[in-house]
């Protein structure tokens, strides 16, 4: 099937999904979860082929992300079941206005329509994304990287069987067959067919979407997250938070990449930081990349200019000294990707300046940036983390996969 | 000043506006309104020059839209004062979550930053848009058509005086000097400078934005609005609503352009419609453009295919006959611009099918499409009507000129 044919299928499926009840959707999700488990052997078989083909062409870390097991498929199925348990966003009345003339205006949450997701080589994204899209009333079009395509096809087959067993159309979850760049471009410009495109991947993919997409698109992911240690910071708290934000899981987007320190506390703070993150760490000591002023206080690598614009995703931390909270805010707003930033301070004036002044999705006072996550924020799930300002900002849950329409009921009112 | 220089000014002004209180914003708006009235003579002088230059090059209707008077400037000032009275969206906590570990997560409404508006020849849009942008905490960059540029410059000067008199920066409201297409393109691609671009104008401008904009953009305006008369409709109600939606103000985007009639009621309804909209109207009789089936019932012009895809903005109505509510929904979803559509019916099943199935901003049951308007919907104002699904749908008020950020306060929490 060509991508165009698949998009026509998706568009036609929209109206069918429109008339499906919340109960039917939930029972279909449970049926999809069962089908995943039932098809474990088939999925593992295709996954083995993907791994065989990919070996030697991608890194071991990527091979690990690609590899499925019975346990991982069970986890994917449990994930789908958990989505079934979440409250449905569909039909929620966001605001109700009754006018003097009796006209009732209800701003009502409704599905977007067709949600397309471009992702790379993690096969589990297939079932996660499909579950969230269907739960929120959307037809799901998936386009995965070529390394994971056989696995994704086996997973989608299972999910479609689950839909069919529940009496619904297989077309609610569709996988693009073409894995060349061409199909990504087709999705980006599928005006009238794709209601929302979510690119989940590296900087190249996101930039291609920003530049080429004519369909509505949400940028997700990249996080150059900062922590600013204010002059009034509790030093033990600051050490603890920086350690957590940098080292608890450096490969994720909410990990800290840049530390900004007020010069009035730097002489006391930085030597303790070096002790904690470098000298006393037996495994994975952090590489500190220091600006000129920090280098006068502790030893470390000399930071290059682009170290302050890099998502390391590794045990590396760029360190910059500033004179004031204002300078910290300016530096962060210039170099951040708008994901998550934190201030460590005991001064409520500095905290207020920081939370007002920082232009990012999540702004923390005295806590680790690592909390920026749909689950941690109480959304129950996550389709990605938006780093843009329109429609959705920060973790995207089910509500963010809906739009609204005004439903207005009258008895003959005219204007 | 070049457009680039102006955008740098706007970006720098963002952080200043960030620290201004709601009270200061409101008093600045009142001061802006006073300055408009005070500068009436200067504004009229520049407006006279615009009209002199434009005469002969644009239609009389456009000249009328362009022309200001003492009364019109007073109305503009009153508009700005009314915006001051509206509740501020800034800082509203949309959702508050307190976690077991004590972390408090507040999803908080905040300004977008820099809002740019591209508009054509209505000088009053200058003060309307500036007032709404500033009220919602945004720096406002205006780019108006060349016909209105001198008037807009005089209005912006007055508004800037008003800001200055209130102790705020003149840079919160800026007018692009260049009126060539180049400056519109610069705004569309001003990544990192423009947080939201609102094109207010014809189809050409909107299409150019969709295809070229790399900054976040909201499509507004075009309305091919439909009314579907169901077989169970109350005929008098249907006649009344169709008359209102078509003839009360045909030049606006929420006016009806296409009438869809169920064949089971067409023989009774269409002759009465013709009587009301054509035969008995002494002024501005409506031109009915009929499909084949409608032509077998009443006389009228033969509809061409593109009559069902045209925003007439005139006393013209395309008429189509369908067999069912399902066929009506399919026709409307294929040909509508996603603005406003109505069903006239006494049957709750048809009404439910229609409100679920129609994929537009506003879906009416037994009321005129003419109500789609910020004022009528109780928003108090309007920056335009979004016909897209992301971020804002339907009339855009102050809330839609904000985004949100998560502000998270802790006492040292780590993950």
pLDDT digits (tens, 9 = 90+) for B317-333: 999 999 999 999 999 99
Q: Kindly determine whether residue A240 and residue B412, on different chains, have CB atoms separated by under 8 Å.
A: yes
Burial of A179 (0-12, 13-18, 19+ CB in 10 A): middle
State the average pLDDT over residues A358-371.
Answer: 98
State the average pLDDT over residues B64-80.
Answer: 95
* Residue B268 predicted with pLDDT over 80: yes
Express as a percent the part of chain A with pLDDT over 90: 89
Report the CATH number at residue A273: 3.40.309.10
Confidence of residue A243 (pLDDT cuts 50, 70, 90): very high
Confidence of residue B101 (pLDDT cuts 50, 70, 90): very high
Q: Kindly determine whether residue B406 and residue A97, on different chains, have CB atoms separated by under 8 Å.
A: no
Question: Looking at residue A64, what is its pLDDT?
Answer: 87
State the average pLDDT over residues A17-27.
Answer: 95
How much is the mean pLDDT over chain B?
95
B198 and B276 both lie in a single domain: no
Task: State the nearest Cα–Cα gap between A413 and chain B, in angstroms.
Answer: 5
The residue count of chain A comes to 415
* Residue A271 predicted with pLDDT over 80: yes
Cα–Cα distance, A399 to A388 (Å, whole number) = 16
Cα three-residue angle A83-A85-A86, rounded to 5 degrees: 70
The reply to whether B382 falls in a domain is no
Express as a percent the part of chain B with pLDDT over 90: 89
Question: Looking at residue B121, what is its pLDDT?
Answer: 79
Q: How many domains does chain B have?
A: 2
A87 and A148 both lie in a single domain: yes
A172 and A319 both lie in a single domain: no
The CA-to-CA distance between both ends of chain B, in Å, stands at: 49
* Residue B202 predicted with pLDDT over 80: no
Closest CA to A87 of A13, A32, A141, A25: A25
The reply to whether B304 falls in a domain is yes
Q: Residues of B45-70 as b/e, b for ≥16 C-beta within 10 angstroms?
A: ebbeebbeebeeebeeebbebbbbee
For residue range A306-327, list pLDDT tens digits in order. 999 999 999 999 999 999 999 9
The reply to whether A414 falls in a domain is no
* Residue B246 predicted with pLDDT over 90: yes
B171 and B319 both lie in a single domain: no
| Partner A contacted by B189 (CB < 8 A) | no
A32 and A147 both lie in a single domain: yes
A37 and A136 both lie in a single domain: yes
Question: Looking at residue A202, what is its pLDDT?
Answer: 77
Mutate to test the interface with B, among A111, A362, A390, A399 (most CBs of B within 10 A): A390
State the average pLDDT over residues A9-31.
Answer: 95
Cα–Cα distance, A318 to A312 (Å, whole number) = 9
State the average pLDDT over residues B154-181.
Answer: 97
B253 and B170 both lie in a single domain: no
Is A364:A376 a contact under the CB 8 Å cutoff? Answer: no
Beta strands B139-143; B93-98: pairing state: unpaired
The reply to whether B388 falls in a domain is no
Distances (CA, A) of A134 to A150, A200, B125, B267: 22, 18, 42, 43
> Phi first, then psi: what are they for A127, rounded to 5°?
-80, -35
Question: Looking at residue A324, what is its pLDDT?
Answer: 98
The reply to whether B293 falls in a domain is yes
Question: Looking at residue B62, what is its pLDDT?
Answer: 83
| Partner B contacted by A237 (CB < 8 A) | yes
Residue spans of beta strands (DSSP E) within A120-277: 139-143, 173-175, 196-199, 225-229, 256-262
Closest CA to B320 of B272, B270, B258: B258
* Residue A132 predicted with pLDDT over 80: yes
Cα–Cα distance, B329 to B332 (Å, whole number) = 5
* Residue A410 predicted with pLDDT over 80: yes
Owning domain of residue B360: 225-371
Give the chain B residue whose CA is nearest to the CA of A344.
Answer: B412
Report the CATH number at residue A112: 3.40.605.10
Question: Looking at residue A207, what is its pLDDT?
Answer: 84
Q: Kindly determine whether residue B368 and residue A406, on different chains, have CB atoms separated by under 8 Å.
A: no
For residue range B43-64, list pLDDT tens digits in order. 999 999 999 999 988 888 788 8
Which residues lie closer than 8 Å to A127 by C-beta, 6 or more apart?
A: A32, A36, A76, A77, A79, A80, A155, A159
State the average pLDDT over residues A122-136.
Answer: 95
- The enclosing H or E element of B93 equals strand B93-98
The reply to whether A52 falls in a domain is yes
| Partner B contacted by A103 (CB < 8 A) | yes
For residue range B367-409, list pLDDT tens digits in order. 999 999 999 998 888 899 999 999 999 999 999 999 999 999 9
How much is the mean pLDDT over chain A?
95
Which residues lie closer than 8 Å to B409 by C-beta, 6 or more apart?
A: A351, A364, A365, A366, A367, B103, B104, B106
State the average pLDDT over residues B99-107.
Answer: 97
Mutate to test the interface with B, among A12, A95, A407, A411 (most CBs of B within 10 A): A407
Which residues lie closer than 8 Å to B283 by C-beta, 6 or more apart?
A: none
The reply to whether B383 falls in a domain is no
B53 and B192 both lie in a single domain: yes
Question: Looking at residue B120, what is its pLDDT?
Answer: 85
Residue spans of beta strands (DSSP E) within A72-145: 93-98, 104-111, 114-118, 139-143
Question: Looking at residue B39, what is its pLDDT?
Answer: 98
B169: DSSP letter: -
| Partner A contacted by B357 (CB < 8 A) | yes
DSSP B229-282: E-TT--HHHHHHHHHHHHHS-TTSTTSEEEEEEEHHHHHHHHHHHHIIIIIT-S
The two tokens of residue A340 are: 């998550």
DSSP A8-60: HHHHHHHHHHHT--HHHHHHHHHHHHHHHHHTHHHHHHHHHHHHHHHBTTB-H
Is A402:A112 a contact under the CB 8 Å cutoff? Answer: yes
Is B115:B139 a contact under the CB 8 Å cutoff? Answer: yes
A40 and A96 both lie in a single domain: yes
* Residue A353 predicted with pLDDT over 80: yes
The two tokens of residue A368 are: 């680790």
The reply to whether B377 falls in a domain is no
* Residue A170 predicted with pLDDT over 80: yes
B35 and B166 both lie in a single domain: yes
The residue count of chain B comes to 415
Q: Kindly determine whether residue B378 and residue A99, on different chains, have CB atoms separated by under 8 Å.
A: yes
B356 and B234 both lie in a single domain: yes
Is B50:B150 a contact under the CB 8 Å cutoff? Answer: yes
| Partner A contacted by B207 (CB < 8 A) | no
DSSP A133-178: HHHTT-EEEEE--GGGHHHHHHHHHHHHHHHHHTTS-GGGEEE-S-
State the average pLDDT over residues B99-115.
Answer: 97
Q: Kindly determine whether residue A366 and residue B195, on different chains, have CB atoms separated by under 8 Å.
A: no
ipTM of the complex: 0.94
A234 and A349 both lie in a single domain: yes
Question: Looking at residue B60, what is its pLDDT?
Answer: 83
Confidence of residue B250 (pLDDT cuts 50, 70, 90): very high
Cα–Cα distance, A159 to A170 (Å, whole number) = 8
Cα–Cα distance, A293 to A188 (Å, whole number) = 45
State the average pLDDT over residues A363-392.
Answer: 94
Is B81:B180 a contact under the CB 8 Å cutoff? Answer: no
State the average pLDDT over residues B57-75.
Answer: 91
Is B254:B225 a contact under the CB 8 Å cutoff? Answer: yes
Long-range contacts of A306-312 (CB under 8 A, 24+ apart): A308/A258, A308/A335, A309/A224, A309/A335, A310/A224, A310/A257, A311/A203, A311/A222, A311/A223, A311/A224, A311/A253, A311/A257, A311/A337, A312/A250, A312/A257
Confidence of residue B286 (pLDDT cuts 50, 70, 90): very high
Question: Looking at residue A304, what is its pLDDT?
Answer: 97
Confidence of residue B119 (pLDDT cuts 50, 70, 90): very high
State the average pLDDT over residues B299-322.
Answer: 96
Q: Kindly determine whether residue A371 and residue B408, on different chains, have CB atoms separated by under 8 Å.
A: yes
Q: Kindly determine whether residue B414 and residue A356, on different chains, have CB atoms separated by under 8 Å.
A: no
Give the chain A residue whose CA is nearest to the CA of B346.
Answer: A411
Strand-pairing partners, residue B365, are A409, B343
Question: Looking at residue B64, what is its pLDDT?
Answer: 87
| Partner B contacted by A349 (CB < 8 A) | no
Q: Please compute, for residue B43, the number of CA atoms within 13 A of its CA located in the half-sphere on the CB side.
A: 27
């Amino acid at each position: 099937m060509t991508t165009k044919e698949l998009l026509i299928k998706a568009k036609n499926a929209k109206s069918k999904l429109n008339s499906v009840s919340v109960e039917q959707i939930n029972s279909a999700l449970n049926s999809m979860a069962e089908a995943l488990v039932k098809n474990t052997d088939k999925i593992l078989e295709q996954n083995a082929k993907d791994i065989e083909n990919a070996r030697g062409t991608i890194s071991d870390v990527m091979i690990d992300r690609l590899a499925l097991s019975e346990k991982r498929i069970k986890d994917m199925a449990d994930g789908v079941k958990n989505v079934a348990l979440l409250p449905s966003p569909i039909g929620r009345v966001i605001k109700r206005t009754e006018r003097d003339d009796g006209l009732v205006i209800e701003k009502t949450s409704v599905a977007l329509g067709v949600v397309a997701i471009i992702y790379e080589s993690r096969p589990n994204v297939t079932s996660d994304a499909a579950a969230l899209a269907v739960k929120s009333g959307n037809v799901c079009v998936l386009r995965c990287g070529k390394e994971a395509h056989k696995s994704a096809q086996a997973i989608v087959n299972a999910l479609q069987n689950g839909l069919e067993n529940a009496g619904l159309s297989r077309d609610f979850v569709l996988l693009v067959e073409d894995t060349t760049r061409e199909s990504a471009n087709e999705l980006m410009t599928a005006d009238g067919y794709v209601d929302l495109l979510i690119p989940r991947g590296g900087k190249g993919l996101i930039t291609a979407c920003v530049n080429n997409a004519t369909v509505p698109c949400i940028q997700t992911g990249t996080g150059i997250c900062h922590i600013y240690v204010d002059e009034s910071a509790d030093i033990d708290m600051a050490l603890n938070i920086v350690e957590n934000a940098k080292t608890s899981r450096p490969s994720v987007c909410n990990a800290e990449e840049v530390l900004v320190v007020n010069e009035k506390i730097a002489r006391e703070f930085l030597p303790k930081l070096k002790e904690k993150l470098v000298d006393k760490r037996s495994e994975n000591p952090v590489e500190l990349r220091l600006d000129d002023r920090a280098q006068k206080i502790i030893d470390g690598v000399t930071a290059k200019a682009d170290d302050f614009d890099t998502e390391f995703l590794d045990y590396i931390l760029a360190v910059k000294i500033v004179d004031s909270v204002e300078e910290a805010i300016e530096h962060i707003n210039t170099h951040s990707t708008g994901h998550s930033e934190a201030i460590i301070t005991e001064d409520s004036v500095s905290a207020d300046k920081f939370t007002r002044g920082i232009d990012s999705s999540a702004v923390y006072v005295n806590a680790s940036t690592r909390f920026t996550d749909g689950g941690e924020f109480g959304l129950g799930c996550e389709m990605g983390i938006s780093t843009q300002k329109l429609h959705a900002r920060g973790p995207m849950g089910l509500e963010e996969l809906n739009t609204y329409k005004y439903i207005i009921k009258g008895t003959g009112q005219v204007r």
